[in-house]
Amino acid sequence: MDFDINRRALFDAAALNYERDYETDIAGWVAEIIESGFFEKPSVSRYKCNKSYTVEEYIGLFNTFSDFLKLPETKKNRIETIIRTSLRKLGGTILKDYESVLIHGKKNPS
Tens-place pLDDT, residues 42-58: 999 999 999 999 999 99
**pLDDT over 90 percentage in the chain:** 38
pLDDT value for 68: 81
Look up the pTM and report it.
0.63
What's the structural domain count of the chain? 1
Does some domain include residue 68?
Answer: yes
pLDDT, one tens digit per residue, over 66-96 is 888 888 899 888 888 988 888 888 898 888 8
Does some domain include residue 110?
Answer: no
* Residue range of the domain that includes 42: 2-104
Q: What is the mean pLDDT of residues 20-36?
A: 88
Q: What secondary structure does DSSP assign to the chain, as a single string?
A: -HHHHHHHHHHHHHGGG-----HHHHHHHHHHHHHHSSB---EEEEEEEEEEEEHHHHHHHHTT-HHHHTS-HHHHHHHHHHHHHHHHHTTSEEEEEEEEEEEE-PBP--
Does some domain include residue 109?
Answer: no
